[in-house]
Structure 1
Amino acid sequence: MLNPIEYLKGVGPMRADMLKKELEIFTFGDLLEHFPNRHIDKTKVNRIREITPQTDYIQVAGTLLGYDTVGTGRAKRLLAQLRDSTGILELAWFQGIHYVVKNLNIGSDYLVFGKTGFFNGKPQMVHPEIEPYARANADGKNFLEPVYPTTEKLKARGFNGRQLGKLTYALLSLVQPKDIPENIPEEVLRRLKLLGRYEAYRNIHFPASAALSEESMRRIKFEEFFIAQVRLNLVRLQRHKASRGVVFEKVGELFNTLYSKYLPFELTGAQKRVVKEIRADTGRGHQMNRLLQGDVGSGKTIVALLSMMLAADNGFQSCMMAPTEILAQQHYAGLSELLKEMPVEIALLTGSTKAKERRRILQGLMDDTIHFVVGTHAVIEDAVQFRNLGLVIVDEQHRFGVAQRARLWEKAAVPPHVLVMTATPIPRTLAMTAYGDLDYSIMDELPPGRQPITTVHRSETARANVMDFVRTEIDKGRQAYFIYPLIEESEKLSYEDLMQGYEQVKSFFPEPKFRISMVHGRQPAEQKETNMQRFVKGDTQIMVSTTVIEVGVNVPNASVMVIESAEKFGLSQLHQLRGRVGRGSEKSFCILLTGVKASKEARERIKIMCATNDGFRIAEKDLEIRGPGDIEGTRQSGALNFKIANIVNDRALLELARAEAERIVEEDVELSMAKNLQLKTYLQSQRRRNGWGKIS
């Protein structure tokens, strides 16, 4: 199936070039895996009078009355009229007009298929599939006709879904069972009543019935999930089995003293559970690779600190890496406060660390007088060497590349334990696919004393009332954020919007009575840092900012956030921004300001935000709305590259595939049993082809 696509009859060099550029079809196998997105029962011919506003795709037959090209330039289009005994249907083409006209004969009978709509009260079909009716009848097909995803460029060159179908039909006439070998163990196929692979591939393209089409889809979706889960489980179990790791043998005096004397509050049940999981991982002699998901404010930093104390009790150093300088500084300040009575040394290493202090830190890490270092990318530089690195903690890990993270674990003879943390809740289905090679922990409880944030939606027309409310909070001694969207395609437009917003805020909160900080991407790093610190220290009462404060600003006194043009933000980002308030003991508020004409999808996002503070519920909804391909931070390219399976719509099948994969791999991690040899052979062939391997 690795034959170049140009060698398939009916393709040739020019078509092959189009297929490669437009659809990434390079080989026979790629064409076979270009699955149809639906099938049409072409045996049914409808009447034109049956078309209603609710009609979707339909097939009709009739006589071509005439056609004409109207308009010029981009407005140029081809209009034709098709009549049957019940009415007239207008046909319209906006592209490929020259090609279409060559194949139209007035007075001839045609069979047309396409999506219908109404224009000026009359039924219309845009870019229909059209063929002479006599030839269509002569085909005598006994299967459902596939409709393939294609592109406008291909359609414009007369290479539509039907042409793809003809090529696939020609390919399947050449394909033998040996070309599509089975890759799922026979006992799994039998127990789950799945079609064989060869049969499924033939029938997903040209099924004899709708039922057979469904069975083929189920089989191939299951296969996609199953193969991905087997890979991820193999990586995880083989790592557990083969990778050496330093051993944290004991829970010692440092851990126990911090736990019993210096923690600011009793740990939540979730925190205790995660600490136990980390304790078990680090005592086994294998490298820990654990993902810690915790909603905003769930206390991940305390868990990280307890893990660092565990390392110190066993004679090992720890390193915590954060994506921004301000977040690293806040981690350092928070940890230093908790450790001020403890006999351990902690240091902060960032790009702006002065040369003298930097030399002191580098020496302290080398001679083990510095036990913990918190930093940014600066900690992965070659000059930074450790005497005995045993634990690496990466915060907001999706902001670091795999290679960057790997440079940290190369700084020790035995790979250090790895704890990666994220405050972006990841839906379970996404975690199972994108992070399935990691052990993962979830912290879904907030520490005592943290109050839920009240979130409300207000229209632009209520701005004056919103400003009055913010003023009452500031009069109580609180602080407030005003957040403006960052439009990546137009930095200039974003800057202008922010400046207008800043002037507007100043008009409601005039100086000198009110003091305002402003932060945005165009500012020099030093100025941005100064303005942020003024707000953090309480020197200013209001922060006007773009989304640069999404992660990493901790101001317990800030009790209200106004998010301007909230309809322009995604759910995950809205939730992250909201997490900047509600960090103290006072009641906090998030006000979502939108324009009057927000889209239906935007209104749905706003409604969810007002209904819940639960980041995991929000993440699940975000996945439903946006789909898996758009979720930020999916770390393994290829983990979600399924052809037809969908982790939202096919969740039950994913759960089933995961269970089967776990059972097989736990029983036979080498896949050496006779019943698993086909699966092993397939995985080896895919490894050579796709180069998948260990995921850091």
Structure 2
Amino acid sequence: MKGTVDILANPIEYLKGVGPQRADLLKKELNIFTFKDLLELVPNRHIDKTKVNLVRDITPQTDFIQIAGVLKSSGLMGEKRGKRLVAEIKDATGTLELVWFQGITYIQKMLTVGQTYLVYGKVTFFQGQPQITHPEMEVYNRENKEGKSTLEPVYPSTEKLKSRGMGGRQIGHFTETLIKLLQENNIPEILPESVLQPLQLMPRFKAFVNVHFPSDPETSQQAINRLKFEEFFIAQIRMGLLRQQRHRYSKGVVFSQVGEIFNRFYEQYLPFELTGAQKRVIKEIRRDTGTGKQMNRLLQGDVGSGKTIVALLVLLLAIDNGYQGCLMAPTEILTQQHFNSITNLLKDLPVNVRMLTGSTKIRERKEILQQLEEGTIHFLIGTHALLEDPVKFKNLGLAIVDEQHRFGVAQRARLWKKATVPPHILVMTATPIPRTLAMTAYGDLDTSIIDELPPNRKPILTVHRYETVRSQVMDFIKAEITKGRQAYIIFPLIEESEKLDYENLMKGYENVQAYFPEPKYWISMVHGRQTNEVRTTNMQRFKTGDTQIMVGTTVIEVGVDVPNASVMVIESAEKFGLSQLHQLRGRVGRGSEKSFCILLSGSKLNNEARERLKIMCATNDGFKIAEKDLELRGPGDIEGTRQSGALNFKLASIVQDRKWLEIAREMAERLLDDDPDLASATNLQLKNYLQALQGKTAWSKIS
């Protein structure tokens, strides 16, 4: 491995042709500090140097193009900020305009009128005429093209680099210089033969050479596949080792029995028959909590799939074994919701459940803290208030976190430290996580999925309507209210302007009042500016049926459970993300009646917004919606995943390269089953490589 360190760790300024000034630019613009960074900068695409197009071939559909022609003119146009360099290149079929806005002085010196150039770049149209802005250019010499690889790499660059003559092609020259310096021992193989052979993967050194300078497109693809697989495989091995380490060494309390309280509740007070998925998940948790190792399980379930009842049964398991439990939720509304439903279910059983939030009165808080330490409280439900130092349990055995992505890792870790032996952890989310994301960002947690809705649930009918038919939508709500039902009307929050949001909401509220005048109709309103007391009162009025319509913002996304509500109208639906639309829709369809979700939007929609609304109308399946959300937005935008080192792939994409991710996962699991400690000689290179990477752990490791 010594050779690797000697060359690839060299500062980039030491590469021939770079030097201190260019190195500074490469560091600032592309984060290239060392030879290794340059080696890992993969080309955006390859262009066939022998394939030269003609100007007359350009159409409005043309994307990137390569033209060979004579530079007919070049000169400055415009003044001050509008100043630009404009040149014309001519071939046998026509003339193409070239434009530069940056680095004008430098580029003007480089251009020679009358010289033949090879020009490459993205075609745009200005006043109907084609042009290339900041093109890649080199003197055209047909003889130089012969006898070499015809595929030339085009690297990512920036306007600043291009303006200093360091566009994608110049970076290609640096890469070519680097590749010539390298030998096989500088890029040693890290994957064992047991992985390379079945997949017929290209050797590592050869892959790095061919990802930059392939002889043909097929070789280029083989090199890319090898490197994508390697990224996924290394991530999966690291996740697998973390999981294994936890299973092997993280001591946990033992829930050895299914006791009297669990059995009494299950046989006498369970409000409905559990689904097969719920039973399966409880068995998985039961198995985990009986091993003497700490459980770290992620419980995924779509809106309304019955995660709370699973959490409650696990809690009763803890209580039967002499331990306390707690449930932490992100908002007071959701905390209150959990408290109400759980105390109602347990009212005939000897279980002491209390609630602790920021607004709990001082006297009650003191009483809760004392009883908690004495052990007379069996189960505490609360917000972030549970994390405070004065909150001490006598013997915490189970910590449940709801809507886990709303809590930071450090916050959750404080909860685990409230017991001598770390409690079992169950993190729940009603935002379904796409399988590919679960395998990466959450790969070190054991996962359970409730993929079945209770049998009495009717699918929600979702429709998209334009604002032009608003009065028909309001008439529909009136018809539902006449049947004794209730409705939500939700307005978006646009983070940039709280004041504007509030004004839009108030205007919307007035419009709704005009359609639904008192005293025939009564309306509740909830939004973020209200005090907790006012918000809770307004929600309570809607819940008890005193008001038929709830107008609000997304504060009702989680925590409001009104089985009688049958209509959800989402105003400006195009401004919401897919997962938020799905969460909001989940507020209806909780009773046995047919429910409806109406997505109201403006008439001017971009393609992505139109696609989102179309998906919502096509399916109620949260997992399908989550997959599509990931596809549309990419993993970096999915809530919570930005913290994840696991998604920091240079080349692979968990969306486009799902096939390779699945193969990598399978191969990693197989290898760790056979050699859990990577102790065999065949896995030594892999082990050494992983040790060199140490310190970069996955964010979701919470034990």
Q: How do residues 453-472 of structure 1 correspond to structure 2 at under 5 angstroms?
A: 453-472=460-479
The answer (yes or no) to whether the contact 2:444–2:698 under 8 Å persists in 1 is no
What residue number does 1:211 align with?
218
- 1:650-671 per-position Cα deviation (integer Å, ceiling 9, x unaligned): 1111111001100111221111
- 1:289-325 per-position Cα deviation (integer Å, ceiling 9, x unaligned): 1110000000000000000011111111111100111
Whole-angstrom distance in 2 between the partners of 1:160 and 1:538 = 66
Moved more, 451-460 or 61-70: 61-70
What residue number does 2:238 align with?
231
What residue number does 1:325 align with?
332
The answer (yes or no) to whether the contact 2:481–2:548 under 8 Å persists in 1 is yes
What residue number does 2:314 align with?
307
Aligned equivalent of 2:62, options 40, 55, 59: 55
Moved more, 636-645 or 459-468: 636-645
Question: How far is 1:141 from its partner?
Answer: 4.0
Moved more, 424-433 or 171-180: 171-180
Question: How far is 1:78 from its partner?
Answer: 2.9
Q: Does residue 530 of structure 2 align to residue 558 of structure 1?
A: no
What residue number does 2:592 align with?
585
What residue number does 2:42 align with?
35
What residue number does 2:429 align with?
422
Indicate how the Cα distance of structure 1 residues 116 and 148 shifts in structure 2: closer, same or farther if over 3 A, else same: same
Whole-angstrom distance in 2 between the partners of 1:54 and 1:106 = 30
Whole-angstrom distance in 2 between the partners of 1:692 and 1:608 = 32
What residue number does 1:619 align with?
626
What residue number does 2:701 align with?
695
Q: How do residues 378-417 of structure 1 correspond to structure 2 at under 5 angstroms?
A: 378-417=385-424
What residue number does 1:569 align with?
576
What residue number does 1:251 align with?
258
Whole-angstrom distance in 2 between the partners of 1:635 and 1:629 = 6
Unaligned 5+ residue runs, structure 2?
Answer: 1-7
The answer (yes or no) to whether the contact 2:335–2:381 under 8 Å persists in 1 is yes
Whole-angstrom distance in 1 between the partners of 2:652 and 2:314 = 38
Letter in 2 for 1:96: G
Question: How far is 1:558 from its partner?
Answer: 1.7
Indicate how the Cα distance of structure 1 residues 215 and 245 shifts in structure 2: closer, same or farther if over 3 A, else same: same
The answer (yes or no) to whether the contact 2:494–2:501 under 8 Å persists in 1 is yes
Question: How far is 1:156 from its partner?
Answer: 3.5
The answer (yes or no) to whether the contact 2:646–2:698 under 8 Å persists in 1 is no
What residue number does 2:615 align with?
608
What residue number does 1:6 align with?
13
Aligned equivalent of 2:495, options 475, 488, 498: 488
The answer (yes or no) to whether the contact 1:349–1:376 under 8 Å persists in 2 is yes
Moved more, 513-522 or 387-396: 513-522
Q: Does residue 92 of structure 2 align to residue 85 of structure 1?
A: yes
Indicate how the Cα distance of structure 1 residues 433 and 138 shifts in structure 2: closer, same or farther if over 3 A, else same: closer
3-state DSSP of counterpart to 1:487? coil
Whole-angstrom distance in 1 between the partners of 2:554 and 2:79 = 44
The answer (yes or no) to whether the contact 1:351–1:376 under 8 Å persists in 2 is yes
Indicate how the Cα distance of structure 1 residues 450 and 83 shifts in structure 2: closer, same or farther if over 3 A, else same: same
- 1:496-550 per-position Cα deviation (integer Å, ceiling 9, x unaligned): 3222222222221223433223223333444434433333333332222222222
What residue number does 2:4 align with?
none
3-state DSSP of counterpart to 1:173? helix
Indicate how the Cα distance of structure 1 residues 121 and 174 shifts in structure 2: closer, same or farther if over 3 A, else same: same
Q: Does residue 360 of structure 2 align to residue 360 of structure 1?
A: no
Q: How do residues 111-510 of structure 1 correspond to structure 2 at under 5 angstroms?
A: 111-134=118-141, 137=144, 141-510=148-517
Whole-angstrom distance in 2 between the partners of 1:412 and 1:695 = 18
Whole-angstrom distance in 1 between the partners of 2:376 and 2:403 = 28
Indicate how the Cα distance of structure 1 residues 551 and 21 shifts in structure 2: closer, same or farther if over 3 A, else same: farther
The answer (yes or no) to whether the contact 1:64–1:83 under 8 Å persists in 2 is yes
Quote the sequence identity (%).
Answer: 68
Letter in 2 for 1:559: S
Whole-angstrom distance in 1 between the partners of 2:128 and 2:253 = 75
Moved more, 439-448 or 502-511: 502-511
Indicate how the Cα distance of structure 1 residues 292 and 182 shifts in structure 2: closer, same or farther if over 3 A, else same: same
The answer (yes or no) to whether the contact 2:643–2:699 under 8 Å persists in 1 is no
- 1:131-173 per-position Cα deviation (integer Å, ceiling 9, x unaligned): 2224994796425211112223333443321222222222222
3-state DSSP of counterpart to 1:199? helix
Indicate how the Cα distance of structure 1 residues 15 and 489 shifts in structure 2: closer, same or farther if over 3 A, else same: farther
Question: How far is 1:63 from its partner?
Answer: 0.9
Whole-angstrom distance in 2 between the partners of 1:221 and 1:173 = 23
Question: How far is 1:8 from its partner?
Answer: 2.8
Whole-angstrom distance in 2 between the partners of 1:121 and 1:628 = 37
What residue number does 1:536 align with?
543
The answer (yes or no) to whether the contact 2:299–2:427 under 8 Å persists in 1 is yes
3-state DSSP of counterpart to 1:592? strand
Whole-angstrom distance in 2 between the partners of 1:495 and 1:532 = 18
How many residues end up aligned between the 2 structures? 695
User: Normalization by structure 2: what TM-score?
Assistant: 0.95
Whole-angstrom distance in 2 between the partners of 1:71 and 1:504 = 51
Indicate how the Cα distance of structure 1 residues 170 and 533 shifts in structure 2: closer, same or farther if over 3 A, else same: farther
Moved more, 282-291 or 543-552: 543-552
Q: CA RMSD in A?
A: 1.9
Letter in 2 for 1:442: I
Unaligned 5+ residue runs, structure 1?
Answer: none
Question: How far is 1:475 from its partner?
Answer: 2.7
Whole-angstrom distance in 2 between the partners of 1:253 and 1:527 = 41
- 1:303-350 per-position Cα deviation (integer Å, ceiling 9, x unaligned): 000000111111111111001111011001000000000111111011
Whole-angstrom distance in 2 between the partners of 1:598 and 1:608 = 15
Letter in 1 for 2:330: P
The answer (yes or no) to whether the contact 2:445–2:701 under 8 Å persists in 1 is no
Indicate how the Cα distance of structure 1 residues 9 and 494 shifts in structure 2: closer, same or farther if over 3 A, else same: farther
Indicate how the Cα distance of structure 1 residues 526 and 181 shifts in structure 2: closer, same or farther if over 3 A, else same: farther
Whole-angstrom distance in 2 between the partners of 1:623 and 1:179 = 37
What residue number does 1:97 align with?
104
3-state DSSP of counterpart to 1:434? coil
Moved more, 507-516 or 376-385: 507-516
Question: How far is 1:382 from its partner?
Answer: 1.0
Indicate how the Cα distance of structure 1 residues 311 and 503 shifts in structure 2: closer, same or farther if over 3 A, else same: same
Whole-angstrom distance in 2 between the partners of 1:136 and 1:505 = 75
Whole-angstrom distance in 2 between the partners of 1:288 and 1:69 = 69
Whole-angstrom distance in 2 between the partners of 1:138 and 1:653 = 35
Whole-angstrom distance in 2 between the partners of 1:372 and 1:432 = 32
Question: How far is 1:14 from its partner?
Answer: 3.3
Moved more, 117-126 or 436-445: 117-126
What residue number does 2:5 align with?
none
Moved more, 150-159 or 643-652: 150-159
